[in-house]
Amino acid sequence: MAICNKCGQYVGDAESECRKCGNVLIPVQEANDSKPVLFGIIGFLLSVLGVFWGILWKTSHPKRAKALIIGGSVGLAVITLIKLAGPMLVLYLLH
């Protein structure tokens, strides 16, 4: 069941207008939230932007946002590990 946004009356899902006030009901369309894997890869490659973009899209595109945040976080973790372990590995190999 839906609720009329003008008077608050409960309205059937198939109805196009409210029986009480006559308000024309506009069906709510869900956002196209496909291809989360692609957005996860984009989030990984553009780590900081991926996390930021994911936070911005959290309400409008939840699947894409989750993929961006996960991909961005993994990307940031990998970059951090490379930056920390890289010099240690070079020192280890030189000795």
Residues 26 and 48 occupy one common structural domain: no
Residues 57 and 92 occupy one common structural domain: yes
Residues 4 and 26 occupy one common structural domain: yes
Model confidence at 75: pLDDT above 80: yes
Residues 53 and 95 occupy one common structural domain: yes
* Domain that residue 21 falls in: 1-30
Token representation of residue 8 = 């608050």
**pLDDT tier at 4, thresholds 50, 70, 90:** confident
Model confidence at 68: pLDDT above 80: yes
Percent of the chain, pLDDT > 90?
Answer: 0
**Burial classification of residue 39, based on how many CB atoms lie within 10 Å of its CB (0-12 exposed, 13-18 middle, 19 or more buried):** buried
Residues 49 and 65 occupy one common structural domain: yes
CA distances from 86 to 77, 78, 91 (A): 14, 11, 9
Residues 39 and 84 occupy one common structural domain: yes
Q: What's the confidence (pLDDT) of residue 27?
A: 66
Q: What's the confidence (pLDDT) of residue 48?
A: 82
Token representation of residue 57 = 């899209």
Give the number of domains in the chain. 2
Residues 44, 36 contacting (CB under 8 angstroms):
no
Q: What's the confidence (pLDDT) of residue 8?
A: 82
Q: What's the confidence (pLDDT) of residue 14?
A: 77
Residues 5 and 51 occupy one common structural domain: no
For 6-47, the pLDDT digits (tens) are 888 888 877 878 888 888 877 666 556 667 777 777 777 878
HSE-up of residue 66 (Cα within 13 Å, Cβ side): 7
Residues 22 and 38 occupy one common structural domain: no
